Structure 1
């Protein structure tokens, strides 16, 4: 695809080329729960509502963003390095429905059959692919849009990378999160989101936060100290005097309650720093994965357009004529598909 300036209701102007990184398991989970009532089956009679919903949203995203390359991250469902390190990782989540498991297992082969690029990193997750995609985009001077419903990906937001966070309402009803929009939502700079999340914890992954530190206090702490590296250094070398002074000054200027002493007490409690650093380790995405993208070689996986016959055969197997027509128009660039 050619590099052009693009302005749509869902995306900012751009001059760089664009990589679309898709968190496939996240989309499959959302679509399984949203579409299970349809009982849609493919032509072989197997459940296909989650696969169809995921693919439909992907096609709509490609139509909206006009990316130059697309990469799909998948979870290694057989092994987990994070669970090896922390056996209680994601403990407490409900058991997956067998029909969802079936569609999760088939997603990679479906996308590969289309000629799209997928990556299932051994022992890792789709979020690691997202992290590596954001890094790849910055290193190659591309833009990146990550499509996910998982807020863990917010840690990858930068001047190069935005997050389309899927919520109710689908692609067109979902927010595109940039550094400025993230700051409005959470009161933290994009580069501090990982530290913010580590302080707060993540119940969905069974990761408790630092005791006594919630979203508001985590945001305030990072806003006043700039980073947790600065906060820990102040505590270690200066008994937290700079932290106390910053919060006392803020309280005097705004009339807010003085919370510096209580924050300092919580940060210096036994195990507080260890909990923070443990969470950072678990939450950090791998940034060094080989995505296998070769944008200088036309026709390689991940690049658009796709082969017409493959799209018609693979999408057609999902047994939704309207989606097949949309896929042919968007994914192949075939003029004859317009209006089908």
Structure 2
């Protein structure tokens, strides 16, 4: 008998730098300091968002990913990676560097993979959850995480308004947004490119063309195979049939020319390899041990001491209630996990 999704244990995987960046920009004017006089507005905002997420989703385990800021495998491979982004505020960087230690001291579980990013932690969390029969919710502002949406993983895409106002995306909602099956999202993103990471897309292929292409062909593996072995004949026919139905005009030949152009496939494959999160990291999670890394509830003394250092009494009270409650999270009602 299949276990209903709402009764399976739940792993909450958080892209912590996303929370810190958003909290910094929202709260920098407050100039909030902790009891040691250090900048704390981004740390406080991140903690509030973690607490809101835990209260909303009632996870059994929480893992928070951080970027390795000392070395980047992706930047070493592609020096222009993320070039063009604005310089980070020095006080934001200082809080990012303190973030993992603060959460660990509280009893939460953080992972900073050498040479990698928080995205790789959340990708590995989705794989871990599926392999252990768990559900997973990823919290991030990075669209690359959409590639990990499945029947066991949903993504809360952070937008203005925080946790409560952000959409929880499952395969059906992702398809409504982009017209792309979850399993093909990485192909879609590699075609489109990602300006925020300074990764140009395949020339002439935007979001609309990419989604139409994948709907007609099923996958880019099939597209490249048809171009290589049949000069794209099957692809053109499928695209023309679909595009005439949708727009009244044929697009197959034009799309084929763009895909067959010099460097097009190389750009696609490069983008795909850069965007794909590592999903094989050892997160240090032990699913069958109740009092293990990342498990809730946490120790009251540790939570009180660390949250209290931020100097906001209401946050300390909230942290104690949300993180140290005695009701097992796995017994909580989770109606948002039920199929629509």
* Fold match by TM threshold 0.5: yes
Once residues 320 and 150 of structure 1 are traced to their aligned partners in structure 2, the CA distance between those partners, rounded to angstroms, is: 30
Residue of structure 1 aligned with 2:57, choices 50, 61, 65? 65
Aligned ranges 1:315-330 → 2 under 5 Å: 315-330=307-322
The offset of 1:257, in angstroms, is 1.8
Is contact 1:127–1:153 with CA below 8 Å preserved after alignment?
Answer: yes
Counterpart of 1:8? none
Once residues 39 and 112 of structure 2 are traced to their aligned partners in structure 1, the CA distance between those partners, rounded to angstroms, is: 22
The offset of 1:92, in angstroms, is 1.0
Q: Which runs of 5+ in 2 are unaligned?
A: 328-340
Once residues 176 and 7 of structure 2 are traced to their aligned partners in structure 1, the CA distance between those partners, rounded to angstroms, is: 25
Is contact 2:240–2:249 with CA below 8 Å preserved after alignment?
Answer: no
SS in 2 for 1:304: coil
Is contact 1:145–1:162 with CA below 8 Å preserved after alignment?
Answer: yes
Is contact 1:308–1:334 with CA below 8 Å preserved after alignment?
Answer: no
Decide whether aligned partners of structure 1 residues 46 and 230 sit closer, same or farther in structure 2, where only a CA change above 3 A counts.
Answer: same
Aligned ranges 1:156-195 → 2 under 5 Å: 156-195=148-187
TM-score, with normalisation over the residues of structure 2? 0.93
Runs (4+) of structure 1 moved beyond 3 Å?
A: 251-255
Counterpart of 2:267? 275
Once residues 83 and 260 of structure 1 are traced to their aligned partners in structure 2, the CA distance between those partners, rounded to angstroms, is: 36
Counterpart of 2:203? 211
The offset of 1:145, in angstroms, is 0.2
Aligned ranges 1:250-289 → 2 under 5 Å: 250-254=242-246, 256-289=248-281
Decide whether aligned partners of structure 1 residues 324 and 334 sit closer, same or farther in structure 2, where only a CA change above 3 A counts.
Answer: farther
Residue of structure 2 aligned with 1:141, choices 116, 133, 146? 133
Q: How many residues align?
A: 325
Decide whether aligned partners of structure 1 residues 259 and 311 sit closer, same or farther in structure 2, where only a CA change above 3 A counts.
Answer: same
Once residues 124 and 17 of structure 1 are traced to their aligned partners in structure 2, the CA distance between those partners, rounded to angstroms, is: 27
Residue of structure 2 aligned with 1:239, choices 211, 231, 245? 231
Is contact 1:131–1:287 with CA below 8 Å preserved after alignment?
Answer: yes
Counterpart of 1:116? 108
Decide whether aligned partners of structure 1 residues 254 and 176 sit closer, same or farther in structure 2, where only a CA change above 3 A counts.
Answer: closer
Is residue 41 from structure 1 mapped to residue 33 from structure 2 by the alignment? yes
The offset of 1:255, in angstroms, is 5.0
Once residues 42 and 241 of structure 2 are traced to their aligned partners in structure 1, the CA distance between those partners, rounded to angstroms, is: 53
Aligned ranges 1:83-94 → 2 under 5 Å: 83-94=75-86
SS in 1 for 2:11: strand
Once residues 269 and 149 of structure 2 are traced to their aligned partners in structure 1, the CA distance between those partners, rounded to angstroms, is: 21
TM-score, with normalisation over the residues of structure 1? 0.93
SS in 1 for 2:37: coil
Is contact 2:106–2:306 with CA below 8 Å preserved after alignment?
Answer: yes
Is residue 105 from structure 1 mapped to residue 75 from structure 2 by the alignment? no
* Greater Cα shift, 250-259 or 158-167: 250-259
The offset of 1:120, in angstroms, is 0.4
Is residue 227 from structure 1 mapped to residue 215 from structure 2 by the alignment? no
Report Cα offsets for 1:266-318 as digits up to 9, x if no partner: 00000000000000111111011000011322322200000000000000101
Counterpart of 1:10? none
Once residues 132 and 100 of structure 1 are traced to their aligned partners in structure 2, the CA distance between those partners, rounded to angstroms, is: 26
SS in 1 for 2:92: helix
The offset of 1:256, in angstroms, is 2.1
Q: Which runs of 5+ in 1 are unaligned?
A: 6-12, 336-340
Once residues 247 and 91 of structure 2 are traced to their aligned partners in structure 1, the CA distance between those partners, rounded to angstroms, is: 55
Aligned ranges 1:12-31 → 2 under 5 Å: 14-31=6-23
Counterpart of 1:130? 122
